[in-house]
Structure 1
Amino acid sequence: MAQGNDDFNNDDFQDMLHSMFGFSGNGFGSGFGGSSSSDAHDGPIPVDAVIDGEERRAGSGGSAAGKGSSKGGSGSSRHGGRHRGRRAPSPIAQRIAQWSRRAFIALAILLAVALVAGYWWFHPALNLQSPGVWMWVLVIAMAAIFGFKIAALRSEKHEKLFNRLVFVPAAVIVLFFLGVLWGEPFMPGNAERYATVLNTTDGDFAKDIEQVDYSEVPVIDRDSAVLLGNRAMGSIPEYVSQFEISPAYSMINYQGRPVRVSPLTYADLFKWFSNRSQGIPAYVLVDMVTQEAEVVRLKDAIRYSESEPLARNIDRYAQLKYPTYMFDQKSFELDEEGTPWWVFPVQKRTIGLFEGTTVSRVVLVNACTGETEDYAVEDVPSWVDRAYPSDLLIQQYNWSGAYAKGWLNSWLGQQGVVRTTPGTDGQLGYSYLAQGEDIYLYSGVTSVTADNSSVGFILVNQRTGESHFYSVPGATEDSAMASAEGQVQNLKYQATYPLLLNVSGQPTYFMALKDNAGLVKMYAMINVQHYQSVATGSTVAATQESYLSMLAADGTLSEDEAAASGAEEKASGKIASIAQAVIDGNSHFYVTLEGDDAIYDFALPDMLGIVRYHVGDAIEFSYAKSVEGDDAESDDAATRQVTKFGAIRATSQGKDSDEASPEADASDAAAMA
């Protein structure tokens, strides 16, 4: 009766084992082929077949048959019912079961070596909350089931014990699926946990967001930074033949400037073999404001990088040094002295086995020396900018937007359900803004129905994880991009993903316009609430001035407010010299005045009227006080960006001519366009 119960309880599971491992249907209690008589032994059982519950042992002639016949009565009474209707073990299982003890020892050693080598190469985190390590656990569990069934085949004496031990790895598999289920948002209490992983508070746009400072605004996107970095790399031939630029291009705030930085990597395996002793000699730095790129040579070379294939591979090095840490997306950063570091956020699961990911610690690895530092996330040095990866922050906010009012509401009623705005390719859409010492992730927020309007935007400090939501209803980023591209549709420029800036208290989208070669040609500013009106210019200062004039014209700002926000000064005098230059495909006229050492930049086509003037002409114009980081107050020879001019009297060759007007300049620009 007891044996019958064992078979009944294990029939369903044995079918699963048969499909997984090729075993025939033998219950955990009955063994793998069972015993046919009282002459049991400890060696392998050379089973040929099981037919109607009767075993035939391999042998020769009638002696074996007779021997089986003489004991057939007792064997049938004891075991016949137990084997009746059972399938024979698979041929592979039979062959493995007949291996010698030495073969099994050799196999065990080989598997152990393979396991250690696999761990070293793939270096999964030794943490039960890591999906990667569970793949190994499941493989080991299934291998254990296979091993126990083979052991039951080999030892009739202990077959019942081995068959019952199969439940241990089977329970591990069941535990895995329960852990996955435990983290689902429909489980009781989980929706609230998801909604509070990222604590977002409401902010006041006019108070929290500082007036725009163009010395800190990134005017190019990542693709343009990559293009500039490749150009800088091409200027150093000895590096081009041996190294490439890593695709990392981390956005950081370095010495008060928003920059993207990326290390060099070995061009291929042979280049690594040739240069591994010297290491990687430099990294690429791209200023996101001035668009200047340089290859920075290091006194101490980078020896821990992504392109190292063996022990100095940065991912393997960090994981083996901290085997239980679950690392998130790393970034490449610089401290204030220019020393390169790898920044590894350490994940923490807060819901179920695998869900509710956040960051609890940060590990810093010196890219040159391999020195490591381990900090709680709230204690990381101020120069670290990316303790929280961008994609993780977007995911966390989307959790709060979806589950703030419960899981059921996220599917049915969807009241108040919001998400971050998607990018132009349907993926995550976000950008970065530098404020103070930190980098802030920016993304718009829209309803889950994915319409063309936004309900506001979020700014999240990537070092501290502090998150604020600003209620600024208006157009989504892709709508603003389409509007800006439509303004210059004859030029076929493409808009970059916009930033949201505070321009004279107005929430304003700011973006660059690039040509087909990826070069920035113009800039655009669009009021979030009135995105049909677009101000463009060939320089940031000219774009700002045009935008303020537009706000004054439509009544959003008064004339005095627009003038006060222009941050400009006036200059006048006679032209001492005038010269033309083409920079990145755009024409510029550079003018100096008599008695003034400053150089004034008239960028075309905005300042097209300058083509009328010659040396000796009197001119009056306005220029930006600070142009993309230049301090005009302290440097008399600084280049100053002209924003508008007019009301002048030409005096070439000592003869006065008619007074020109801004309207004439505007008509010239329109004719040229």
Structure 2
Amino acid sequence: MKRLRNVLITIVPLIVLFLVADYVLLVPLNIRFEEGFSLFFGLLVIAMIAYFYEDVKYMLQDLAKGHEVAFPSKKVKAAFIVLVVIYIGYHVSSLPVFFSQQYRDLIGEIETKEFVEEIPSVDLAKIPIVDEAYARRLGDKKLGEDVGLGSQVYVGDFTLISMKDELFWVAPLEHTDIIKWFVNREGTPGYIMVSATDAQDVRLVQEDAQGNPINLKYLESGHFGDNVKRKVYFDGNMTEGLTDFSFELDDEGRPYWVVTTYTKRVGINGGSDATGVVIVDAQTGETTKYTVDDAPTWIDRIQPAQFVVDQINDWGWYVNGFLNTLFAKKGIIQSTPGMNYMFLDGEWYFYTGMTSAGADESTTGFMLSNTRTKETTFYKIGGATETAAMSTAEGKVQNFGYSSSFPLLLNIENEPTYFMTLKDKQGLVKQYAFVNVKDYSIVGTGETLSDARVNYIKVMFGNGELPTNPSGERKSLTASVERFGSYETGGNTYYTLILEGMPNLLLVAPSTISPELAITREGDSVEIEYIDATTQTKNIVSFDNLNFAQ
């Protein structure tokens, strides 16, 4: 009877504790998640202690006096053993030693493809030259222009999105503290947009397309029911795994939170895998749940980056089973440190290099994984790792002391190439760099994208003959010369041209094509015939400077 009384006395504060913990911690009420298991297990321990209170009290007294602790009853022993078995059993139930193949299969089937055939040549105007750190600097500066607003809110976490085929970093305005939240209960007045391709395009958006004011009510800095995490959790997702709260815009610029739902696929609590998304209107709080397959097309990211990296690493680590990871380590490959994004044909991809288990400065290839579907492709290309390329680019401008951003992977002249921005100590972009993946001694830098690319191609061509383009359509055009340069390699002189209104068309010709090349200047009108091959630099096959009459 006394034991039952102890349990009844405990159950009310236990329920209160459970409700408070659930409201504050937002723990998924599902033992497949470690947080949920820990909560239920902790409550079970407290209930057992209450039930065996008298026995536990004597045990604690013996412990305090330094006496040998003896279990006073078989029931206490049995209860203790049950708790230990539950705890240990839970934590070993999903170990890779038992489920290595299941972990390896989480990423799905991985195709192996050729880089040049699948990755199109880059358009300079589409290269994201603004990384997240630079976007934050620009966003903070934009907010600082409005002194009154800057004292009320701060710029939240940025998300890289595409909107109408343009790339932007977007971030909500968040409350600075609970007082500002209480005073501005209707929400913060808008969000920041920073073009990923043009550092001059920075916007503070405070009105929607119809001219109505924007008020972001549901935010990570909101409190109680205005907190977006609490809003999603209590809108029917208490048993779901929720992660990756990303701020995104639909095609009309309306702000939403996109939240990934996930489950565990291996054993009881192993192998996190996305199942869909919950989208939350940041102004009204309306929530809608979707699977991966039926999510709206404007959502750029469903798969959390960390899930993808973990699954790629499991795929490479358990290639020959668990025991192989302890001894022979045959065929093991792992992702290189760091990850970036690629935007190809209207789709976003996670990009990471792959290296052997020795973790040296060379890659065995690259992985591209679709940020929505997780469809993953492996490109076998031996070369330098991203960190090695960053060091090479920094070494090229070591006299300035610039630091490199994390690389983007591009296709330049059918060559896998790393692209980086080079920043000064204040975080301002000063130069750009291209580094060849296969041979990271081939580096081109410049104060503009075009200059860096031209210099890169010069060095690349200087290591061998100017490539010929036997296939491709012959095209003719007449235009004015906007930029003109020359370089020598192998005892031959080559001329490079960019024509007015065509910044992404780089033309190159040997001096033997026409004697007029040597006397051509910027502003001259020219008539050119070139081969439109798959390479981004096009070979000129005939050249006529119209400023000279023959």
Counterpart amino acid of residue 121 in structure 1: V
| Equivalent residue for 1:177, pick from 88, 109, 114 | 88
Query: Counterpart in 2 of 1:314?
Result: 228
Change (3 A) 1:624 1:461: farther
Take 1:202 and 1:361, find their aligned partners in 2: how far apart are those partners? Answer: 26
From the superposition, tell whether residues 128 and 193 of structure 1 become closer, same or farther in structure 2 (CA, over 3 Å).
same
Structure-1 separation of matches of 2:424 and 2:477? 29
User: d(CA) in 1 for partners of 2:390 and 2:500?
Assistant: 26
Give the one of 392, 397, 416 matched to 2:307: 392
Structure 2: which amino acid aligns with 1:185?
P
Aligned match of 2:154: 244
Q: Where in structure 2 are the equivalents of 1:279-318 lying within 5 Å?
A: 279-291=187-199, 292-298=201-207, 299-318=213-232
The alpha carbon displacement at 1:346 in A equals 1.2
After superposition, the Cα gap between the structure-2 partners of 1:143 and 1:556, relative to the gap in structure 1 and judged at 3 Å, is farther
Given residue 280 of structure 1, which amino acid in structure 2 is its aligned partner? T
* 1:480 positional shift: 0.9
* TM-score, normalisation: structure 2: 0.80
For normalisation by structure 1, the TM-score amounts to 0.66
Q: 2-side partners of 1:261 and 1:478: how far apart?
A: 27
Counterpart of 1:590? Answer: none
d(CA) in 2 for partners of 1:646, 1:228: 43
Q: Deviations 1:398-445 (Å, cap 9, x if unpaired)?
A: 0101001101111211111111111xxxxxx01111123322111111
C-alpha displacement at 1:260, in angstroms? 1.2
CA contact (8 A) 1:217 1:433 kept: no
1:437 aligns with 2:437: no
Q: What residue in structure 1 maps to residue 537 of structure 2?
A: none
CA contact (8 A) 1:129 1:354 kept: yes
Give the structure 2 partner of residue 465 of structure 1.
Answer: 374
For the structure 1 residues 163 and 116, does the alpha-carbon distance in structure 2 shift closer, same or farther, using more than 3 Å as the test?
Answer: farther
Q: Is the 2:317–2:333 Cα contact (8 Å) retained in structure 1?
A: yes
Which stretch shows the higher mean deviation, 475-484 or 544-553? Answer: 544-553
Is 1:538 equivalent to 2:434 in the alignment? no
Q: Which amino acid aligns with 1:350?
A: R
SS of residue paired to 2:442: strand
Deviation of 1:110 after TM superposition, in Å, equals 3.1
Helix, strand or coil: the match of 1:369?
A: coil
Partner residue of 1:335 out of 250, 266, 273: 250
CA gap 1:127/1:279 in 2 versus in 1, 3 angstroms: same
CA distance in 2, matches of 1:568, 1:449: 52
Contact 2:255 2:281 in 1 (8 A): yes
Give the corresponding residue for 2:287.
Answer: 372
Instruction: Work out the CA distance in 1 between the residues paired with 2:521 and 2:55.
Output: 106
1:214 is aligned, of 118, 124, 133, to 124
Task: Give 1:296 shift.
Answer: 1.0
Decide whether aligned partners of structure 1 residues 109 and 260 sit closer, same or farther in structure 2, where only a CA change above 3 A counts.
Answer: same
Deviation at 1:560, TM superposition (A): 6.0
Cα offset, 1:490, TM superposition? 0.9
Cα 1:234–1:271 change in 2 (3 A) is same
- Structure-2 residue corresponding to 1:140: 43
Q: CA deviation at 1:170?
A: 5.7
Per-residue Cα deviation, 1:161-202 (whole angstroms, up to 9, x for no partner)? x97498568635523421221211111xx1111111002221
Q: Verify: 1:352 aligned to 2:267, yes or no.
A: yes
Give CA deviations for 1:64-123 in whole Å, capped at 9, x if unaligned: xxxxxxxxxxxxxxxxxxxxxxxxxxxxxxxxx8xx96x986654333223212211212
In structure 1, the partner of 2:490 is: none
Shift of 1:621: 6.1
Residues 44-123 of structure 1 mapped to structure 2, 5 A cutoff: 108-123=11-26
- Mapped contact 1:568–1:623 kept (Cα < 8 A): no
Q: 1:512 to 1:650 in 2, by over 3 A?
A: closer
Shift of 1:508: 0.9
Is contact 2:7–2:47 with CA below 8 Å preserved after alignment? Answer: no
Q: 2:402 aligns with which of 487, 493, 501?
A: 493
Q: Which residue of 1 aligns with 2:97?
A: 186
SS at match of 1:175: helix
SS in 2 for 1:295: strand
Q: Deviations over 1:10-67 (max 9, x none)?
A: xxxxxxxxxxxxxxxxxxxxxxxxxxxxxxxx6x7xxxxxxxxxxxxxxxxxxxxxxx
CA 1:404/1:484 → structure 2, altered by over 3 Å: closer, same or farther? same
Structure 1 CA distance for aligned equivalents of residues 330 and 271 of structure 2: 23
Deviation at 1:306, TM superposition (A): 0.4
Match of residue 647 from structure 1? 519
Match of 1:513 among 422, 433, 436: 422
- Per-residue Cα deviation, 1:535-555 (whole angstroms, up to 9, x for no partner): 111111222222222222222
Letter in 2 for 1:389: P
Asked whether the 8 Å contact 2:483–2:522 carries over to 1, the reply is no
Any stretches of 5+ residues in structure 1 without a counterpart? 1-41, 45-96, 155-161, 423-428, 573-599, 608-619, 632-644, 652-673
Structure 2 vs 1, CA of residues 557 and 454 (structure 1 numbering), >3 Å: closer, same or farther? farther
Q: Give the structure 1 partner of residue 169 of structure 2.
A: 260
DSSP 3-state at the match of 1:311: helix
| Structure-2 change in CA distance of 1:173 and 1:260 (3 Å) | farther
Residue deviations 1:462-498, cap 9 Å, x none?
0111111101101111111111111111111111111
Moved more, 539-548 or 284-293: 539-548
Secondary structure at the counterpart of residue 378 of structure 1:
coil
Could you tell me how far apart the structure 1 residues matched to 2:146 and 2:14 are? 49
Determine the C-alpha separation between the residues in 2 that align with 1:569 and 1:170. Answer: 87
Which residue number corresponds to residue 274 of structure 1? 183
Residue 135 (structure 2) aligns with = 225
- Bigger relative contact order (CA 8 A; separation at least 6): 2
Relative to structure 1, the CA distance from residue 169 to residue 353 in structure 2 (aligned partners, 3 Å threshold; closer, same or farther) is farther
Q: Does the 8 Å CA contact 2:190/2:216 hold for their aligned counterparts?
A: yes
Kindly indicate whether the alpha-carbon contact (under 8 Å) linking 2:362 and 2:382 is maintained by their aligned counterparts in 1: yes
Query: 2:112, 2:379 within 8 Å by CA — same for their partners in 1?
Result: yes
Where does residue 513 of structure 2 map in the other structure?
none
Q: Name the residue aligned to 1:406.
A: 321
The DSSP-based 3-state class of the residue aligned with 1:198 is coil
AA partner of residue 417 (structure 2): T
Change (3 A) 1:557 1:354: farther
Provide the secondary structure at the position in 2 that maps to 1:408: helix
CA deviation profile, 1:560-587 (whole Å, cap 9, x unmatched): 69x999x998625xxxxxxxxxxxxxxx
Partners of 1:446 and 1:455 within 8 A in 2: yes
Task: Name which one, 1 or 2, has greater alpha-carbon Rg.
Answer: 1
CA distance in 1, matches of 2:465, 2:177: 57
Query: In the aligned structure 1, how far is the partner of 2:385 from the partner of 2:500?
Result: 30
User: For the Cα contact (< 8 Å) 1:343–1:365, is it kept in 2?
Assistant: yes
